[in-house]
Amino acid sequence: MARGGTKAPSQRQLRVGEELRHALAEVLERGDLRDPSIAGISVTVTEVRMGPDLRVATAFVTPLGGGDAEAVAAALTHAKAFLRRKVGGVVKLRYVPELVFRADPSFDEAGRILRLLRDPEVARDLADGDEDREGDGSGT
């Protein structure tokens, strides 16, 4: 077992997660969900992580074009029974997993890293590092 008690997902977990991601995206794309809190918002399902027993699926969502991802996740959580029923009709599994919706933090993290890289002090340090590599390796 890896450090921290986490284990890499199995091939089956990855395959079922990807199938559920496609099924959720299809249901959301069709507009079957009539929740006024996300009316007119295109939702992207970026990833679905399956639990080891395939009974729980955590779907990471974000509104297309930006917006309040937490509000979208809350609205989808409110409609999870409806979504589970719709996904169950598309995906052929012995048990339709319980759906858990989370806001996807990866886009925010990418933006934070981009802002850090554009910081003048960091840009200067990166430029200094490039000069060291181009020279004789002495760093001066």
Distance of CA 62 to the CA centre of its chain: 7
Q: What is the pLDDT of residue 1?
A: 39
Numbers of helices and strands, H then E, in the chain: 5, 3
pLDDT at 49: 93
Q: What is the pLDDT of residue 129?
A: 62
Q: What does the CA dihedral 91, 26, 70, 66 come to, rounded to 10 degrees?
A: 150
How high is the pLDDT of residue 134? 54
> Residue 137 has what pLDDT?
52
Residues in the chain predicted with pLDDT less than 70, given as ranges, are 1-5, 129-140
pLDDT of res. 17:
92
- pLDDT at residue 89 in the model: 86
Domains of the chain: 3-104 (3.30.300.20), 105-140 (no CATH)
- 75: CB partners within 8 A, 6+ apart: 35, 37, 38
